[in-house]
Structure 1
Amino acid sequence: MSRAFLSHSSKQKNLVRNIANNLGKGQCVFDEFEFESGMPILGEILKGLKSTELFVLFISDDSLNSEWVQQEISEAKNILDNGYQKSIYPILIDRSLNVGDDKRIPSWLKKYLLKAITDHFLITKKIKQRLRELSLEHNPSFKAKESLFVGRNEMLDQLESKIYSIGDFKPHSIIVSGMVGIGRRTFLKNALKWVKKIQEFYEPIYITLDTKDSIEDFIIKVQDFEDRTSSESLEQLQSLSFEEKIEEAKSLLVKVKSSNEFIFIIDFGCVIKPSKKVANWYLKLIEDSQFKNLLTLNIVSRFRPSTNFLRKQKSVINFHLNTLSDKDTEKLFVKYLTLLGHDLLEKDAQEVLSILNGVPAQTHYAVEFIHDYGIIEAKKNKQDIIDFGETQVFYLIESIRKKGNFEFDFLVLLSNFEFVSYEILYSIIEDEDKVNNTLEDFYIAGVFDLVGANKEYIKVHYPIADYLKRSKAKLKPEFRDKIRSFIKKFVTQSSHREEYDDISQLLLNVKGAILEGHNLPEKYYIPSFILKTVVEHYYNGKYRNVIKLIDKVLDKKRRLDNDLIREFQYWLCLSLAREKDDRFEIEIQNISGADFYYLHGFYYRFIKRLGDSQYYLEKALQKNPNFQRAKRELVNVKLMKEDYQGALKLAKENYENQKLNAFHIQAYFICLTRKQYLSREDKLKINDLFKNMERSYDFRAKGIIAVMKGEFAYYVEKDIPKSVRLLQECVRSNPENHYSVKALREIYTKCGMLEPLNTLKSKYRTQLETFDV
């Protein structure tokens, strides 16, 4: 871990002593730790500076009058002039100072002194985060990857021409869209550098928002820029109308602008919807004249806004990133190889280049594979590189699992949080060095991002968290007990708690308390927090709890964003359908578009009106041909109707798009094995399906593959005794698995085995004859 030198005046001793004690001797140079009694001589100070990676300057009226501190400021300027900008960290701790007018403060230093902080806990937190960043940057792999940027020159020129045009209307905000791994954040940072909005080493404020978030989450996360969220501000937020929330967001954004900061929202469907619509609150923010031409708020999105929106909306400029050209892919590949110290033979380099698809993340993966295992292994495992987008998560998690139990348990812990602070992790594991070392390895491997005003929160990448969630990876009992103790403490203090210095802890406690059925003060029922809880209840099968919570929230819909209201209504309809509640027919009237037809199809499947279900699902796909949930559901219904030939084409398409999805594997397998004649190609494909089911993330995959073996014995090998034996064993070992019961019943029926069929029916009353994942 890097160390910090704490430069201060004698009058600041008490504050800095608290900070030094919080950091510990191993992480800082503080005169009482390092120097002998008496005033340290300049030589000792310089020696202390040279033995540390971060120079922290505490700026106040007293320090500016200190001869020692002035000499240290001069030394800091020397460090800066030598190109070590990230090694300087000035902190303003005196609210009385007028930084702009104070002539004792050198002009180069003023730009760092954005706002005063006097709380030793918060200062410690910021110093620790800066030390972590420095430790990562000293890692050669991380440093090499961070410096990479190739291509996109036409887009950079387009932005420059917009910013420096004679016309009145210049963009207020940039939206960079494209698939994960295409280089959206890298492009956005380099674009702002290109037009001189940010400096070389600047790091923006990263905020993550997804489909379950809204303007409330934006406000709370930007409030974190002010370091604490107060109890009063939570109550105020709950009482505001939607329009008042927009005004609150504007006032917070003005503070960000005044501090010369920039926000990058890492968006997973909150601002730019999967439907290509753009959140109204975002538009109201950026269209305000206070943010004209400033690019204070920018979006990194999975989804692209509609062409119609971009044509009409002049305050936004969108760059949609496609794959790199072959030439730029080669540049990136060779540049990264060189930075990591490799020089391949041309024929070896060309062999790897020939399988790259232009996605920067895949190129990074190929180079790192060569770096870790050598070119011979890389050539042997070319298929892994080709399948990178589909299988990268599987291989990454497997590599962590092989490191040991702690690493995998720690990954599962991280993935249980929306986002989490280092402090929570330290309090759960109580071994800071172990946590820091493991996190450094994870970060370099691409497990998570650092987000927040000071990059103080860890957010596991969505595909990894989703994989672990679907595989039902269990949280280690001692970790679970620690989290429950946090929630219990929060519940007892919730009525009189005044401030929250850790937003991730607040979200954890609120969601946990509601899931456990505790009643909390009204201020904690923030709609987007409730929506996250609703989703968790839904996937845990607690549909009545979902309905109850949503009814509570929708009682006060005047205060909600329309997009959030729609999300609640959508989850309400899903839960009513699962419960076969005829109230569904009333609530569905609040839904429009393709979802209206999809939800009808979903509901009719549960009440066994399969013809109606198929009709509505096909209507949903007419409205939205790329509607993945509707495609999956339509295959589901056709399998229930035993229309295997009708389901085959769509089942194949679904599988080709998600080769590790257990439902898609099983559905395609069923369609293939029910064909009257299997070609050689069909048999090879069935073999691939078995292999991919072995690698599937779904927690049911092990049980499903056992059933598939039994069905394969009957439909392909034509071995009835083997098939019956395998499926009977499946039923005995896991009687709750309706796949095995249904498969065995089907074979008993086809073979006219009436006695065992009747026994099976009486013993295992399968409640749903469905392939529902």
Structure 2
Amino acid sequence: KIHDLMTTSISDKVNIAVKLIEGIIEEKERILIEDKGAIVQPDSTIVSWFVRITDHIKHYGHLTFCIASKFRGNKTFSYRNPEYYFEEIPELNTQERRGLLKRYATYKGLDLCPEDLRFFSDLLSGYPEQVLFAVDSISDTNLYSVKKDSHLIREYADDKAKVIVESFSHDQRKLDFLYFLSKFEFISYEFLFSLVDEVEFYPITQNFINMSVCDQLGVNNDYIRVNQVIQDYISRSKFGTTSEYDDVLSKHIKKFIEEYTDNNRDISEYIFSIQEAIKTGKDIDSRVLVPSYFVKTIRSLYEKGGSANYKEAVRLADQILSNAQYMHSNVIEHILFMKCQSLARLHDREFFNAVRDVPEPESSFLHGFYFRITRQRSRAIESYKRVLRQRPNDHRSKSELVLLYLQNDEHELALGLAKEVYERQKNNPINANNYLNCLFYKDDSHIEPGLVEDILERLKSNQAQRAQEIYCSAKAKALARFDNKVDESFTLIENGIMDFPDIKYPVLTLCDLAIQYKRIDKLEYAIGILEKTDSPKSQTYGSFIRFKAIWLTLTSRFDEAVGICKRELTELTSAEIDQFIDKLKQYLPKS
């Protein structure tokens, strides 16, 4: 039996792995791995522990590992080490796309005429799954509907997860079940149907498999999992499960902890239940834990957000880092990074002790993150610039700089970066919002025709709550800025405030519009909301104080406005505060 992996040295773990793999080699089997950066690193090198395993087994001369890697391998390495072979798989060329389209359509019993084949071929961009999605859509609905919504096929290559999830928007039962399945790394049919009704949900799982929403795993296809790209999209968008499913899982976790044994337990049940138990702070026998359970749980807590979850993420990080001598450096760095992010979110100065152990350029990135969260914008900007000097194509840092430049009203500095970041990932609502905010400050004649409408349409079609909330604010600004529909703009944003009561951004948008169009009543209403919801630790606190100072000035309380700026805008230098106070004078009522 394998126990105590939390306190087993790397060398001993390698030896355990070698023994297991030798048994697989004896059976003339192969190990298929979908690698997202654990083996082939972002810099194309092979992680050291895998090299050590390979060195132990290469004398067998057996093709043991078949790895589909996210990153490209270094072919020079394979020339020096013939036991490795790397092959890059390019996208389908035009002829291959057309051939696959025609053959798969025939296989599905469709009779597409040459004109229809040309129509769909022109939409394809080289991903085989895009072809399958196009044909499956025709098969499941009809040719007319798919042609009418052909933009979905084109967008599939950019963000297939968004397109697929939206295709279920008319069927809430399927959508809720998909969100439920996405909670599991993988799940056996046996475990799944102990939680939900087999008669009702087995046909849905088969529909998901046919549409490539889910894959089957295992020698006998005993397991099912949500396609990783779709699972990541659901996680990023924070789509939650219904209370019905939450109750089912809560009861299962409680029973699992009370009755835990490892005798012939379903592996999918075991992995899911252990991670959920860790997340809720339950005591689990350390002998059955492995570091990856903690890593995934820490990430889940961080993504969920909130002070309690950030504190729990830090606690778990400290717990696992106490056994750092038994872990590979990559795992340690990953845990440290998430710990530092959580500390930054908490405004905890322990961040500066923790970040010392993080190598560059990640250390500079984390410093920038901490300074942005704590409203020290000039220091944050310098930190992100330091990252880009070391890693010029770091899009995370570019995204952060866009946000900081916008907060400083430096729209020209933000514009080029915002465009670059948006065009790289058009379906990210944050990128779209930042780019729009730059465009709102450009002269109409310098804005590409249809660009603003296209970005707004992408936001509108994204069903994630964050995208819908951002769309509301962006559309309100566009109505006032480009269409001169000011009253309609205010109606839309005030409805948005009611639709998203826990989100501050629509309220800040109302402040912005109210100041721009001299609607003091609207500004007073928005300030009243922010008075109840904002605090000095909030990232939006500086904006709130600025808006409040403008409101005070507009209502003939300039001295009070000056006082609140000097007292509360602690992130600004004296010169910056004086500059803002001078700007306030333009809002003084004319006598």
TM-score (norm 1): 0.65
Between 1:336-345 and 1:546-555, the stretch displaced more is: 336-345
Q: Name the residue aligned to 2:212.
A: 446
Deviations 1:662-688 (A, max 9, x none): 111211111111213355634x11111
The answer to whether 1:518 aligns with 2:282 is yes
Deviation at 1:580, TM superposition (A): 1.8
Cα separation, partners in 2 of 1:367 and 1:757, compared to 1, 3 Å: closer
Q: Name the residue aligned to 1:531.
A: 295
> Relative to total residues, which structure has the larger strand share, 1 or 2?
1
Residue of 460, 467, 473 corresponding to 1:701: 467
> Relative to total residues, which structure has the larger helix share, 1 or 2?
2
| Matched residue SS, 2:90 | coil
Q: Name the residue aligned to 1:129.
A: none
Deviations 1:247-280 (A, max 9, x none): 1011111111111211110122222233434222
Deviations 1:525-562 (A, max 9, x none): 42110111101111122111111111111111111111
Kept in 2, the 8 Å contact 1:662–1:701? The answer is: yes
| Matched residue SS, 1:318 | coil
| Matched residue SS, 2:42 | coil
Deviations 1:198-254 (A, max 9, x none): xxxxxxxxxxxxxxxxxxxxxxxxxxxxxxxxxx52x34334211100110111111
Deviation at 1:432, TM superposition (A): 2.6
Please give the alpha-carbon distance, in whole angstroms, between the structure 1 residues aligned to 2:17 and 2:500. 53
Kept in 1, the 8 Å contact 2:494–2:510? The answer is: yes
Q: Which amino acid aligns with 1:526?
A: V
Kept in 2, the 8 Å contact 1:544–1:575? The answer is: yes
Q: 1:718-737 counterparts in 2 under 5 A?
A: 718-737=484-503
Deviation at 1:713, TM superposition (A): 3.0
Q: Name the residue aligned to 1:716.
A: 482
Please give the alpha-carbon distance, in whole angstroms, between the structure 2 residues aligned to 1:478 and 1:420. 19
Deviation at 1:769, TM superposition (A): 2.4
Q: 1:180-191 counterparts in 2 under 5 A?
A: none
Residue of 363, 378, 382 corresponding to 1:615: 382
Q: Name the residue aligned to 2:320.
A: 553
Please give the alpha-carbon distance, in whole angstroms, between the structure 1 residues aligned to 2:455 and 2:150. 20
Residue of 539, 542, 549 corresponding to 1:768: 539
Kept in 2, the 8 Å contact 1:324–1:359? The answer is: yes
Please give the alpha-carbon distance, in whole angstroms, between the structure 1 residues aligned to 2:4 and 2:488. 67
Q: Name the residue aligned to 1:667.
A: 434
Question: RMSD between aligned alpha carbons?
Answer: 2.6
Please give the alpha-carbon distance, in whole angstroms, between the structure 1 residues aligned to 2:205 and 2:485. 51
The answer to whether 1:629 aligns with 2:396 is yes
| Structure 1 unaligned residues grouped into runs of 5+ | 1-231
| Structure 2 unaligned residues grouped into runs of 5+ | 544-591
Deviation at 1:302, TM superposition (A): 1.7
The answer to whether 1:324 aligns with 2:92 is yes
| Matched residue SS, 2:125 | coil
| Matched residue SS, 1:265 | strand
Residue of 501, 506, 509 corresponding to 1:743: 509
Deviation at 1:719, TM superposition (A): 4.5
Q: Name the residue aligned to 1:76.
A: none
Please give the alpha-carbon distance, in whole angstroms, between the structure 1 residues aligned to 2:406 and 2:95. 46
Q: Name the residue aligned to 1:212.
A: none
The answer to whether 1:490 aligns with 2:234 is no
Q: Name the residue aligned to 2:271.
A: 507
Cα separation, partners in 2 of 1:578 and 1:353, compared to 1, 3 Å: same
Please give the alpha-carbon distance, in whole angstroms, between the structure 2 residues aligned to 1:313 and 1:714. 63
TM-score (norm 2): 0.84
Deviation at 1:320, TM superposition (A): 1.0
Q: Which amino acid aligns with 2:286?
A: E
Which structure ranks higher in relative contact order (CA pairs < 8 Å, sequence separation ≥ 6)?
1
Deviations 1:12-67 (A, max 9, x none): xxxxxxxxxxxxxxxxxxxxxxxxxxxxxxxxxxxxxxxxxxxxxxxxxxxxxxxx
Deviation at 1:453, TM superposition (A): 5.1
Please give the alpha-carbon distance, in whole angstroms, between the structure 2 residues aligned to 1:638 and 1:267. 36
Deviation at 1:343, TM superposition (A): 4.5
Deviation at 1:455, TM superposition (A): 3.5
The answer to whether 1:471 aligns with 2:237 is yes
What is the percentage of aligned positions where both structures have the same residue?
Answer: 27
Kept in 1, the 8 Å contact 2:22–2:57? The answer is: no
Between 1:369-378 and 1:525-534, the stretch displaced more is: 369-378
Q: Name the residue aligned to 1:111.
A: none
Deviations 1:556-581 (A, max 9, x none): 11111111111111101111111122
Kept in 1, the 8 Å contact 2:75–2:86? The answer is: no
Deviation at 1:755, TM superposition (A): 6.9
Q: 1:298-447 counterparts in 2 under 5 A?
A: 298-306=66-74, 309-373=77-141, 375-402=143-170, 404-429=171-196, 431-447=197-213
Kept in 2, the 8 Å contact 1:447–1:461? The answer is: yes
Deviation at 1:385, TM superposition (A): 2.4
Q: Which amino acid aligns with 1:506?
A: Y
Cα separation, partners in 2 of 1:689 and 1:376, compared to 1, 3 Å: same
Q: Which amino acid aligns with 1:490?
A: F
Please give the alpha-carbon distance, in whole angstroms, between the structure 1 residues aligned to 2:11 and 2:23. 19
Cα separation, partners in 2 of 1:326 and 1:763, compared to 1, 3 Å: closer
Cα separation, partners in 2 of 1:709 and 1:288, compared to 1, 3 Å: same
Kept in 1, the 8 Å contact 2:368–2:381? The answer is: yes
Kept in 2, the 8 Å contact 1:631–1:650? The answer is: yes
| Matched residue SS, 2:362 | helix
Kept in 1, the 8 Å contact 2:98–2:117? The answer is: no
Q: Name the residue aligned to 1:177.
A: none
Cα separation, partners in 2 of 1:476 and 1:741, compared to 1, 3 Å: closer
Q: Name the residue aligned to 2:222.
A: 456
Please give the alpha-carbon distance, in whole angstroms, between the structure 2 residues aligned to 1:421 and 1:699. 31
Kept in 1, the 8 Å contact 2:375–2:539? The answer is: no
Q: Which amino acid aligns with 1:554?
A: L
Which protein is bigger by CA-based radius of gyration? 1
Cα separation, partners in 2 of 1:249 and 1:455, compared to 1, 3 Å: farther
The answer to whether 1:677 aligns with 2:444 is yes
Kept in 1, the 8 Å contact 2:161–2:230? The answer is: yes
Please give the alpha-carbon distance, in whole angstroms, between the structure 1 residues aligned to 2:221 and 2:38. 20
Deviations 1:148-201 (A, max 9, x none): xxxxxxxxxxxxxxxxxxxxxxxxxxxxxxxxxxxxxxxxxxxxxxxxxxxxxx
Q: Which amino acid aligns with 1:507?
A: I
Please give the alpha-carbon distance, in whole angstroms, between the structure 1 residues aligned to 2:112 and 2:529. 64
